[in-house]
Amino acid sequence: MENLPNYSKLQKKVRQAFTLVEILLVISLLGIVTLMGLPMINGVVYQNDLDNASMVIVSTIRQAENNSRNGIEDSVWGVRFNYPNIILFKGGTYATRDNAFDINYELNSRLTYSGLTEITFSKMYAIPSTTGNFIITNLNGNSLTININAKGTLFY
């Protein structure tokens, strides 16, 4: 055993670190992956905006319909679309409404809106004053159409 070399003295000290080239390579790869993923992330965000806006519109219309059907405040209720605002109001028309009961919802400004501007529901029977479509479009050009028929049924 006396003839065995002492390996601890023969071993060189090895540094355990990353080189500048390795660090730059990792950073550039992360940048490329991030840049490739941005369009997908934007698509998800824009679709989420569209889904959220449709749910706000549908729920506001249903709230006006239910308020009219249930005779809340013994009045007709309606919805006004002043993009980007959606206003639930009490009264026969938006112009003659009772401002004290207005509930305002704001849609995302990255959307565009076209279609009906105002709808009211008759007291007790909740028959809509008008029929038609609400069309919301996001920045990707995807659109969602909400249709209300003569019985007040919403299709989307």
Least Cα distance to 78 among 127, 140, 146 occurs for: 127
Q: Per-domain residue ranges for the chain?
A: 19-155
Q: Summarize pLDDT for 66-124 with one digit per residue, the tens.
A: 999 999 999 999 999 998 899 999 999 999 999 999 999 998 888 999 999 999 999 98
Q: Are 45 and 38 in contact (CB under 8 A)?
A: no
How many Å apart are CA 95 and CA 104, to the nearest integer? Answer: 15
User: pLDDT tens across 53-76, in order?
Assistant: 999 999 999 999 999 999 999 999
The percentage of the chain sitting over the pLDDT mark of 90, rounded to a whole number, equals: 67
Q: Domain 19-155 sits in which CATH superfamily?
A: minor pseudopilin epsh domain (3.55.40.10)
What percent of the residues of the chain are helix, what percent strand, and what percent coil, each to the nearest 5? 40, 25, 35
